[in-house]
Amino acid sequence: MPSSIPARTTPSDLLHLGTVCSQCNLRELCLPVELSEIEITRLDALIETRRKIKRGQYLYRAGAPFAMIYAVKTGFFKNDALLEDGRYQVTGFQMAGELIGLDGIGSGIHTCNSIALEDSEVCAVPFTQLEQLTSEIPTLQRHLHRIMSREIVRDHGVMLLLGTMRAEERLAAFLLNLSQRFLARGYSPLDFHLRMTREEIGSYLGLKLETVSRTFSHFQELGIISVQHKHVTITDVGRIRAMLTRQAGHP
């Protein structure tokens, strides 16, 4: 079992920020562009540490007290939760420029595990202090509310995936979502590396491993994608979009 971040970290576990929000190349993804330099400087002051998380290591575990939210600077994470039958259900994936830890805001404890899928780095932000700052900076408050709303919409989208879409449509939606997120970060939207396993994709989409592997192979046979291990090239993004358009037109 991978080890978790200790409750009390030592100085060697934490790195002082060499690059804070005002200089970060992910600033436009994490922060509202309307913030002034003075307001960004105030936000900089909240971020005292960066944490390096090794592949397979827990950023936090379900049931841990909630104190921080984390902005992913580099790397890739998955969230999963323990079901009543003892299985773990993947509930989401996060990449650079996205926030982790929002699941703990309501109850004061984390409701899922967050695990690094590759060597990663996060910026830790104390939520109590951030909440105080957002009350003083309306633009930042609106931005945080937009992020929370986006998470609600994403959860709703997953429910639709699991409830109404066939296997091909679920995988098409998943690949298109990744494509759009990579594009927003300046990467190729058509050529990317999957950090998660087929089994993790299946858990997230409510599909068996065999179904995920078979659907990837089917897409490749149709000339929609090209797959080499975890590397995916989308060769016909129009057909992927068409799958989802047809599904939307036939509830």
Domain match, 121 and 218 both: no
Token pair, residue 73, equals 């600077």
User: Does 188 map to a domain?
Assistant: yes
Domain match, 134 and 189 both: no
Domain match, 75 and 173 both: no
Task: Determine if residue 223 is left, alpha or beta; phi over 0 gives left, psi from -120 to 50 gives alpha, anything else beta.
Answer: left
CA dihedral angle for residue 164, residue 170, residue 176, residue 181, rounded to 10 degrees: 90
pLDDT for 237:
94
Count of beta carbons in the 10 Å neighbourhood of residue 178: 19
pLDDT by 10-residue block (mean), the chain, 251 residues: 36 39 64 74 76 96 94 94 90 90 92 97 90 86 80 70 84 93 91 96 95 97 94 95 69 42
We report the CATH number of the domain holding residue 226 as 1.10.10.10
pLDDT for 250:
47
Domain match, 77 and 115 both: yes
pTM score of the predicted model? 0.81
Overall number of domains in the chain: 2
Domain residues for the domain of 71 are: 11-140
Minimal CA–CA distance to 203: which of 107, 115, 97? 115
Domain match, 18 and 64 both: yes
Rounded to whole angstroms, the Cα distance separating 60 from 63 reads 9
